[in-house]
Structure 1
Amino acid sequence: MLLINNNPATLEAMSEADRDQVMSGVDDLMKELTESGELIGGEALADASHTRTVRVRDGVPVTTDGPFLEAKEYLAGYLIIEAASVDRAVEIAARWPDARFGAMEVRPIIDGVSQEG
């Protein structure tokens, strides 16, 4: 799984042409991964302002608005890919446009057989 982390302020500060270039890069890579059969699925996530964080303490659920992370970046979306190796997954993550101004996390999905990447 590739987790897309970015800072919405960075995107907002970009010119429309720069944002279009980022989205074009996303479209190009999505097409390539679809054609190669490596793309399993994925979605962009709603703005973090729509987030609810739920914690249960002493059996009592408490819900708060927002992710309340210590970082300015938040999870913006994810891709599920089937790559031949972790190195290939890292290569794809490095090519994802958000990696230039945010971060991409590569994390294996536990499939019940192996937890190794």
Structure 2
Amino acid sequence: MSSRGGDAGLTFRVTRPAVGTDSYSGYYAGISPSGQVVLGRVNDSWTPLRTAGLRITPGSTHRLRVTAVGSSIKVYVDDMRRPRISVTDATYAGGANGVRVFGTGATFDNVAVSPAQ
């Protein structure tokens, strides 16, 4: 991830994907180089649900995990035992998963999606 701003992360429970910044319905969890973990809901516009601080070094590697079981959504960064963000939101129950980059540079590897356990 570069230090230019923006964010990079995962989209989940997405429906109606289209070309455009917020042109979908669903959720997004990401990391910004300015030192924020973000979780929001999207429906052709951005609704922030929660943010948390995070120490970021430009060019560093981070592990991002999202669990979405029923209305419980948790976002983990690096420490996979303790979520950085935990919310309850039942707006979207299902949909596609993907990656998203906005206004920064980022690479992804080892992306996996599995059913809730």
TM-score > 0.5 by shorter chain: no
Greater gyration radius: 1
Higher-helix-fraction structure: 1
TM-score using structure 1 length: 0.27
TM-score using structure 2 length: 0.27
Higher-strand-fraction structure: 2
